Amino acid sequence: MTEPVSVLTQRYDVPDAHTLAGYERTGGYQSLALAFDQAPTDLVQQVKDAGLRGRGGAGFPTGVKWGFTPRGAGKPTYLVVNADEGEPGTFKDRELMERDPHQLLEGIVVACHALESERAFIYLRGEYLWPGIRLEHAIAEAYEAGYLGKDIKGSGINVDVTLHYAAGAYICGEETALLDSLEGRRGQPRLRPPFPAQAGVYGMPTQVNNVETIANVPHIVQHGVEWYRTMGTEKSPGPKLFCVSGEVNRPGNYEWPLGATAREIVEVSCQGMLDGRTLRFWTPGGSSTPLLTGDHADTPMDFDAIAEAGSLLGTAAMQMFSDRTSVVEAARNWTKFYEHESCGKCTPCREGTFWLSQIYDRLLEGRGRREDLDLLDEICDNIFGRSFCALGDGAVSPIKSSLAHFREEYEHLVEHGRLPEGIESHTDAVDHNSGHGRPEQLVGT
């Protein structure tokens, strides 16, 4: 039986943890001295040894990624914190920045030392006004106290942080699109290579790391690799913020070691499904990760076990839905999301999401045809692996997985023109493109 842990969330109950006074009183900024005593490359090795994997979705080992940063090239290196949290169902970084912004800043200072970088940008989702205000306040306090700026606490180390509010584009969570956006361009992904570690923002070596990833770093430095590895699994060590939402009694961010099961998290932390409903389908890591079913509730929530179960851990955004909820409606809702958020750079994603959305409208309006199911499948196959970035792959995840697990609901819709007994519609979907003046197009008629 796994137990919840309290590492990243250890100050969530301290009312003034967002202030410097509250943060210092509860042991904040103590990793700096330990970090400054080490050579940058040793710090990178420590993060590598701890096995920290990126918390933004891909799960790439952070220490390995840091190791790609060229040193002594005579160019500035930048750290860009990806705080463009937009994956549907994800709200972990928001709460972390609201409740404990100094934790992120401490991580930034340590990471900058490890990367020999003197400049960090926090690319914050534009809608995150309150987290942004909390961060601005924290940045100002940290400068005042000498935790940021020139010659931090007499170490000779300089770190400047710039908070950058974005302007509402899901694609900018993709790291190369984020860099284009930070440079003042349309947020469209770049071709890799070159990878950001070699040529990122302004063509300089750049590390892009998620908020939660950076927040893990001071804890590793302060308490050591051995302690860090007491949590989680061999290949996915450490604590993780799980964002649980949907039809559960107590939605929220809960911190468990990686490898806890969805059942444990929902039963213990969320006090079960809403009104005792039965879990029917859920996303383990946001809407871009293939849906799992109630039968998968005992799968350990770590990168490898979830991958074995046919999905991805993603951002660990667990959206839990019951047997009263239509999976086809869910797929339509998310398809319209991806249609809206497709950046338009590549054809499979831009056009594919548009046509998929029309087929879903037809199905749910009782105009579905039997061949529509194969058509959905075929369009998905033409997007998956054929689009420029992972947005296209994410867009087809809910569709492919719902077709695989819940084909009978699709067939019922085609046959009877309505949802099966016991499944309620949650009112019509909103058409995102209604304001864009795009005409409705008929498919194959």
Partner 1 sequence: MSDPSTNGSGPAETIPAEIRAKAEEIVGRYPVKRSALLPLLHLVQHAHGYVSDAGVRLCAELCDLTKAEVGAVATFYSMYKRAPMGEHLVSVCTNFACHVRGGTAVYRHLSDKLGVGHNGTTEDGQFTLEHAECLGNCEGAPVVTVDYLNYEGQTPASAADLVDRIAAGERPAPTRGFPPEGIRAVQHRLAALGPAPEGEGVVAEAGHASDQARATDGAVPVPESGPGLAPVTVEPTFSEGQEAERARAREAVREAGQDPHEVESGAGPQAREFPTTDPDWEPPEPGASAGGDADQEHEEGTS
Q: Which of residues 398-427 bind partner 1 (CB under 8 A)?
A: 426-427
Does 143 interact with partner 1 (rule: CB under 8 A)? yes
Tell me how far apart the alpha carbons of residues 285 and 243 are, in angstroms, rounded to a whole number. Answer: 9
**Segment contacting partner 1 (CB under 8 A): 105-113, 122-130, 376-384, 388-396?**
122-130
Taking the complex as a whole, the smallest distance from the CB of residue 392 to partner 1 amounts, in Å, to 17
Q: Closest Cα to residue 103, out of 221, 22, 25, 218?
A: 218
Residue type, 292: L
Peptide bond before 101: cis, by omega within 30 degrees of 0? Answer: no
Q: Outline where 309-424 has alpha helix (H).
A: 327-341, 347-364, 370-383, 390-405, 407-416
Name which position in 66, 228, 242, 321 contacts partner 1 (CB under 8 A).
Answer: 321
Q: Which of residues 57-116 bind partner 1 (CB under 8 A)?
A: 75-76, 85-91, 93-94, 98
**Segment contacting partner 1 (CB under 8 A): 108-116, 305-313, 415-423, 432-440?**
432-440
Give the pairing of strands 279-283 and 252-257: unpaired
Helix axes 40-50, 211-228, angle to 10 degrees: 80
Q: Which is nearer to partner 1, 422 or 435 (CB)?
A: 435
Q: Which is nearer to partner 1, 4 or 224 (CB)?
A: 4
Residue 67, token pair as written in the block: 């190791």
| Cβ neighbours, 10 Å, residue 284 | 27
Q: Which of residues 15-34 bind partner 1 (CB under 8 A)?
A: 15-16, 18-22, 25-26
Q: Which residue has the tokens 């900024």?
A: 29
Q: Which is nearer to partner 1, 251 or 314 (CB)?
A: 251
- Find all residues with CB under 8 Å of 41, minimum gap 6, and list them: 71
Residue 242, token pair as written in the block: 């799980």
Taking the complex as a whole, the smallest distance from the CB of residue 349 to partner 1 amounts, in Å, to 15
Helix (H/G/I), strand (E/B), else coil: 172: helix
Q: Which of residues 144-163 bind partner 1 (CB under 8 A)?
A: 144, 149, 160, 162-163
- The torsion angles phi and psi of 72, rounded to 5 degrees, stand at 65, 25
Q: Which of residues 180-199 bind partner 1 (CB under 8 A)?
A: 180-187, 190-191, 193-194, 198-199
Q: Which is nearer to partner 1, 58 or 204 (CB)?
A: 204
Name which position in 48, 153, 164, 263 contacts partner 1 (CB under 8 A).
Answer: 164
Binding mask 32-61 for partner 1 (x = CB under 8 A): ------------------------------
Q: Closest Cα to residue 339, out of 313, 358, 357, 363?
A: 357
Taking the complex as a whole, the smallest distance from the CB of residue 334 to partner 1 amounts, in Å, to 6
Taking the complex as a whole, the smallest distance from the CB of residue 125 to partner 1 amounts, in Å, to 7
Name which position in 32, 112, 178, 243 contacts partner 1 (CB under 8 A).
Answer: 243
Helix H or strand E encompassing 242: strand 239-246
Taking the complex as a whole, the smallest distance from the CB of residue 379 to partner 1 amounts, in Å, to 20
